[in-house]
Structures are given as structure tokens and as C-alpha cells.
């Protein structure tokens, strides 16, 4: 269906569509299930994700790709159909999370570096055989007193670039995700400063590793106020400063930018994305790669009960449609209230 890295990347950032992040680790999905008093087992995790992937209106009209966890990429639906086939048959690109998580960075208190490069070439070969056509690697950049350091930014950028090179070698599009965490009392301008530094370090490293930018997708944070700051920037300020930061740092060769929600509420993540697309004419597609901002509503509606599948799918379809509209700059709060 997709023959080249460039074609895969373009499909991932198709107009009016975005990426579903369903790559929660076993520990993370357990916490999500705990919140609805549902037991996390291999079967219950499969059933929950199968429910999402079988929401046809969402998957065909508004979802361009799905990031999977290793377990999910290998699972079959209840009727024996591989889950990866459910995704691709809807016209979405199957993807895989390949990092093994952020660990404390040696000699740098409060800072993290993402691991997972060992054996990655062989894992990519297997993942390609299993049907994955893109991958994701997340770096974690904390804001605090005296951090992030240049050491931290460069260590994470180098790891992202090495991962990207191995992905492209295997015929897999790398999503590069340098996430500046929104936790803290910093203001939006401090977030701008750190995001700019992280993106500049990333694209320097990608250049050194000879990455084909046309075969990549960037997954950044939005430029927002820290969660503990008493002054929260409004929608238009977030949109303007996020776009200004991206224009300074991201080459026009990159086909698209798929934002993470990063702990924002469902509606805030949607509103910010829609404002950017409505307010600016940009060289790249701006879309979404949301986990919680797509899944919180259907997870709550499902509640671990098979009797609630229809209402959970309706909730997922709604959130996918709202974000699809945001990816075209056409979302309004009236649409949320009407629903």
C-alpha cells in the first residue's frame, strides 16, 4: 500500500486525520484500567484495543495511523484476525513503540535519557515483518531549576537520531518525539525557550545521522504554561507561540507535525490544534498523535464491560471526529456542546 518512506510519512499526516497513540506499556495501561476498576489482562487489553480499531467511522475517516505496544502488534482479534490487519484494512498505517523508556541520566540530577538502542536493528526487521511501517521513540525533557542541561538535550537528540537511522534502514518511518514535559510552575515563555533548544538539538543530530527528513514525522509538545503556573496561556497565545517556535526550528522538508497532548484536557488539545491550523499557513501538515486526549472518553464509557462497547465506540468516534476537524482548522466548541 505504501512503497517508500516518503509515501508512508505522507499517509501518516493526511488531511483531516491523525494518529492514535495506543502504545501504553503494560504498567501504564494497568493504571488506566485501575481508574475504571477493570482488571488488566492480555485478553482485556486486546478487547479494549480491538474495540477502538473496529470503530469504523473513526478509523477510516479520522485516523491515519496507530502506534502499538509490542504485545498488541502480535495479538489477534477475538475472531483470529491480526489486529494489525484491522488497522491496515481501515486505511491506517500500523506503527510500533520501540524505546524501552526514559531512565535517569548519569551525572545529571532530575534529567532523563531514553534507552532501547541495543538490538534495535534486529527488532526493526521483525517489526517490519509483523506489519509495522512506522515507529516511535520518546525523549523526556524536564523543566526545572537549572535544567534541562545541554548535556541532556544532546544525549536525547543523539539517541533519537540513531533510532531514526535504524528505522529508515529497515523501511520504517521514524516518529521523533522530544517531549518537553508540562509539569512545573514555569511560564509559557520558559516552555518556548526549552522547546526551541530541544528542537534545534534534534535537527542538528538528525542532519549528522543523514536522516531523510521527508521520511520522518515530528511529534512535539505544544508550547504551553506549566501545569502549576497560576497564569495559564490562552488558546491563541499557545497557537501563536507554538507555531513561532516550530518555524524557527523545523525544516520545511518535514512532511508533518503530529502533536502529543501531553496531559492537556481533551478539549484543550483539540482547541489548540484547531487554532494553529485556522490561524496560520504553514509548510507542514499540523495534526495530532494523541493517547489520553482520544482515549479518556471511550475508556470511561467502556468501563471494562462488553455491554458498553457501542457507547465507548461512539465516544471514540466523536473524539476522533473533533480532532480530525481540528487538523483542518474547522473545530468549534459549539460542536462539542452539540454532541
Q: How many residues does the chain have?
A: 339
Contact 131, 73 (CB under 8 A): yes
Residue 337 scores a pLDDT above 80: no
Measured N-to-C along each axis, helices 266-279 and 235-249 cross at an angle, to the nearest 10 degrees, of: 60
What percentage of the chain exceeds 90 in pLDDT?
94
CA dihedral 81, 87, 90, 91 (to 10 degrees): -130
Residue 338 scores a pLDDT above 70: no
What is the DSSP-derived secondary structure letter of residue 219? -
Residue 209: alpha-carbon gap to chain centroid: 23
CA distance 224 to 241: 8
Residue 257 scores a pLDDT above 70: yes
Helix then strand then coil, in percent of the chain rounded to 5, is 50, 15, 35
Residue 248's pLDDT is 97
Q: Enter the C-alpha cell of residue 36.
A: 475504571
Residue 142 scores a pLDDT above 90: yes
Residues 6+ apart with CB under 8 A from 80: none
If you average pLDDT over residues 154-158, what whole number do you get?
A: 98
CA distances from 187 to 37, 143, 227, 251 (A): 36, 11, 9, 26
If you average pLDDT over residues 145-165, what whole number do you get?
A: 98
Instruction: Express each pLDDT in 47-95 by its tens digit.
Output: 999 999 999 999 999 999 999 999 999 999 999 999 999 999 999 999 9
Q: Return left, alpha or beta for 292; rule: phi > 0 is left, psi -120 to 50 is alpha, else beta.
A: alpha
Contact 127, 116 (CB under 8 A): no
- Considering Cα of 23, then 26, then 28, then 31, what sign does the dihedral take? positive
If you average pLDDT over residues 163-168, what whole number do you get?
A: 98
CA distance 78 to 70: 18
Residue 265's pLDDT is 87
Q: Nearest to residue 164, comparing CAs of 152, 154, 173? A: 173
CB atoms within 10 A of CB 3: 8
- Considering Cα of 51, then 52, then 56, then 57, what sign does the dihedral take? positive
- Give the pLDDT band (50/70/90) at residue 336: confident
- Give the pLDDT band (50/70/90) at residue 124: very high
Instruction: Express each pLDDT in 261-311 by its tens digit.
Output: 988 888 899 999 999 999 999 999 999 999 989 999 999 999 999 999 999
Residue 183's pLDDT is 96
Q: Enter the C-alpha cell of residue 123.
A: 527488532
If you average pLDDT over residues 211-238, what whole number do you get?
A: 97
CA distance 257 to 286: 5
Per-position b or e across 115-130, b if 16+ CB within 10 A of its CB:
ebbeebeebbeebbee
Coil vs helix vs strand at 314: helix
Residue 263's pLDDT is 84
Q: Cα(first)–Cα(last) distance of the chain, in Å? A: 35
CA distances from 36 to 215, 250, 282, 304, 321 (A): 39, 39, 40, 7, 24
Which is it for strands 93-97 and 102-104: parallel, antiparallel or unpaired? unpaired
Domains of the chain: 5-338 (3.20.20.70)
Which is it for strands 18-22 and 173-180: parallel, antiparallel or unpaired? unpaired
- Top pLDDT among 266 and 111 is at 111
Residue 21's pLDDT is 96
Residue 335's pLDDT is 86
Residue 224 scores a pLDDT above 70: yes
Q: Enter the C-alpha cell of residue 301.
A: 464509557
Q: Nearest to residue 131, comparing CAs of 60, 66, 195, 188? A: 66
Residues with active-site annotation: 177, 219
CA distance 148 to 112: 9
Amino acid at each position: 500500500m505504501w512503497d517508500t518512506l516518503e509515501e508512508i510519512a505522507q499517509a501518516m499526516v493526511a488531511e483531516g486525520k491523525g494518529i492514535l497513540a495506543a502504545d501504553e506499556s503494560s504498567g501504564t495501561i494497568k493504571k488506566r484500567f485501575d481508574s475504571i476498576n477493570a482488571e488488566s489482562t492480555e485478553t482485556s487489553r486486546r478487547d479494549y484495543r480491538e474495540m477502538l480499531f473496529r470503530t469504523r467511522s473513526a478509523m477510516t475517516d479520522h485516523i491515519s495511523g496507530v502506534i502499538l505496544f509490542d504485545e498488541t502488534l502480535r495479538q489477534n482479534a477475538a475472531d483470529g484476525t491480526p489486529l494489525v490487519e484491522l488497522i491496515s484494512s481501515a486505511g491506517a498505517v500500523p506503527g510500533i513503540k520501540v524505546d524501552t523508556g526514559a531512565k535517569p541520566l548519569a551525572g545529571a540530577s532530575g534529567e532523563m535519557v531514553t534507552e532501547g538502542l541495543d538490538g534495535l536493528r534486529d527488532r526493526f526487521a521483525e517489526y517490519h515483518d509483523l506489519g509495522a511501517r512506522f515507529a516511535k521513540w520518546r525523549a523526556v525533557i524536564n523543566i526545572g531549576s537549572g535544567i534541562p542541561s545541554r548535556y541532556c538535550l544532546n544525549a536525547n537528540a543523539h539517541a533519537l537520531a540513531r533510532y531514526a537511522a535504524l528505522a529508515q534502514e529497515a523501511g520504517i518511518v521514524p516518529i521523533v518525539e522530544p517531549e518537553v514535559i508540562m509539569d512545573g510552575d514555569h511560564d509559557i515563555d520558559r516552555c518556548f525557550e526549552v522547546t526551541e533548544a530541544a528542537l534545534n538539538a534534534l535537527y542538528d543530530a538528525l542532519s549528522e545521522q543523514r536522516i531523510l527528513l521527508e521520511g520522518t514525522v515530528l511529534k512535539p509538545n505544544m508550547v504551553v504554561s506549566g501545569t502549576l503556573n497560576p497564569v495559564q496561556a490562552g488558546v491563541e497565545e499557545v497557537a501563536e507561540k507554538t507555531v513561532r517556535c516550530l518555524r524557527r526550528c523545523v525544516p520545511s522538508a518535514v512532511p508533518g507535525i503530529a502533536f502529543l497532548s501531553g496531559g492537556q484536557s481533551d478539549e484543550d488539545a483539540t482547541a489548540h490544534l484547531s487554532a494553529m491550523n485556522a490561524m496560520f499557513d504553514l509548510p507542514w501538515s499540523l495534526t495530532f498523535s494523541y493517547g489520553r486526549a482520544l482515549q479518556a472518553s471511550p475508556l470511561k464509557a467502556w468501563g471494562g464491560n462488553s455491554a458498553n462497547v457501542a457507547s465507548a465506540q461512539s465516544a471514540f468516534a466523536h473524539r476522533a471526529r473533533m480532532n480530525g476537524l481540528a487538523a483542518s482548522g474547522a473545530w468549534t466548541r459549539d460542536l462539542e456542546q452539540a454532541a
